[in-house]
Amino acid sequence: MRNLSLGRSVHLLDVENLVGAPRPATSDVVTMMDHYRRRVPASGMDQYVAAVNHGALVPVGLALAGIQILIRSGRDGADEALCEVIRLDHLDDRFERVIIGSGDGIFTELADWLRRRGVQVVVVSRPDALSHRLRRTAGQVIPLELAA
């Protein structure tokens, strides 16, 4: 049986964390994605899933047209939505590499779980927003510098 995960990657984007604002402007999201795409290797087979709070849906949706967007409000709503995707969508069976676009420590246990399942885990984060625990758990960390 052929392994369908080979060569496939999924990018899980905590947009608010990557931009550094709970309600980012469309232009800020466009700038962040431009930097992200220059720093993070991707292929035409890669999939993207972004998560935001309800107040950021319109500006993020305008900036990320064509990318699946999850909406969850609350203090860690976007994080929780992405964590659910990791397990409920069986990313460990479907992808060779999971790129977590966030520095939040909430992803540490799931990153460890994915690595134990043989999945390559890459974390993309602004250096000042990266949890020490997540940094130690990730197989690779790519800094996302959003200098003006």
Q: Mapping DSSP to helix (H, G, I), strand (E, B) and coil, where does residue 125 land?
A: strand
Q: Where is 3: in which H helix or E strand?
A: none
Task: Flag whether pLDDT at 4 surpasses 80.
Answer: no
How big is the CA angle at 113 (ends 49 and 118), to the nearest 5 degrees? 90
- CA contacts within 13 A on the Cβ side of 15: 36
Tell me the domain boundaries of the chain: 9-143
Check: CATH 3.40.50 for 9-143?
yes
User: Which pTM was predicted?
Assistant: 0.92
130 in Cβ contact with 141 (< 8 Å): yes
Average of per-residue pLDDT across 108-131: 95
Mean pLDDT within 2-8: 66
What pairing do the DSSP bridges indicate for beta strands 47-52 and 68-71?
A: parallel
